[in-house]
Amino acid sequence: MEWLGHSIRNANEVGNWSPIRLARDGLLLSHLFFAGDLILFGHADDNQAWVMKDILDEFCDYSGHRINMQKTNIFFSKSVDYSLRMGISDFFGFQEVTILGHYLGVPLLHDKVTSSTLCFVVDIVHITLAQLILLSIPTYFMQMMMVPKSVCDKIECMVRKFVWGSYNGSSKMALVS
């Protein structure tokens, strides 16, 4: 994979690969490696497709790896012409998708990010804070003295109710489902 990264970087430096910017003043992005997976970024044109395909073919020949066509998708921005999308998809032999879905549990976003888009992050932080803070306070006392099991059970019950949706008898939306 390191060889592939160097090949992509070299193609960027000599001007053959056209990376993209995710934001107006953002960094140029050509590829991301994740635990054996690869995401490539580039402009949607025939020359760019040839450069990408040449690098991928050379990597496959060099390493002995093969691209799993059933697991490989291609995604285009909304501004790319339909005939160009079809031509590039056919050229690579990849299935075009309009929604990338999730990767390692995190949604791959292709629209503008709003607060509602990332509300799951707030829920995760809320649960983590509840566990960290609400359970660390009694841990301190438990290091200093013997705490009766009934007290531990009450504390655990309070944390559970906080995370799952009720506190002091009033119901709220559960933080997890």
Residues 143 and 72 in one domain: no
- Which of residues 108 and 152 earns the better pLDDT score? 152
Number of independent structural domains in the chain: 2
Name the packing angle between helices 46-63 and 82-92 (round to 10°): 20
**Within this chain, do residues 97 and 147 fall inside the same structural domain, yes or no?**
no
Q: Is residue 140 one of the residues assigned to a domain?
A: yes
Work out the burial of residue 87: count CB atoms within 10 Å of its CB; fewer than 13 is exposed, 13-18 middle, 19 or more buried: middle
Residue 98 and residue 131 in one domain: no
Judgement on whether residues 134 and 100 belong to the same structural domain of the protein? no
Q: What is the pTM of this model?
A: 0.59
* Residue of 24, 37, 7, 11 whose CA lies nearest to 108: 37
> Could you tell me the sign of the dihedral formed by the alpha carbons of 5, 11, 15, 16, in that order?
negative
Q: Is 161 buried (19+), middle (13-18) or exposed (0-12) by CB count in 10 A?
A: middle
Query: Quick check: is 176 in a domain?
Result: no
Q: Would 50 be classed as within a structural domain? A: yes
Same domain (yes/no): 94, 35: yes
51 within a domain of the structure (yes/no)? yes
Q: What is the pLDDT of residues 57-93, one digit of tens each?
A: 999 999 898 988 888 888 888 889 999 999 999 999 9
Range of the domain at 152: 119-171
What is residue 60's predicted lDDT score, i.e. its pLDDT? 92
Q: Please check whether residue 134 lies inside any domain of the structure.
A: yes
Rg (CA), the chain: 25
Lowest mean pLDDT of 21-25, 28-32, 147-151, name the range.
Answer: 21-25
**How far apart (Å, rounded) are the C-alpha atoms in residues 23 and 122?**
23
Residues 89 and 60 in one domain: yes
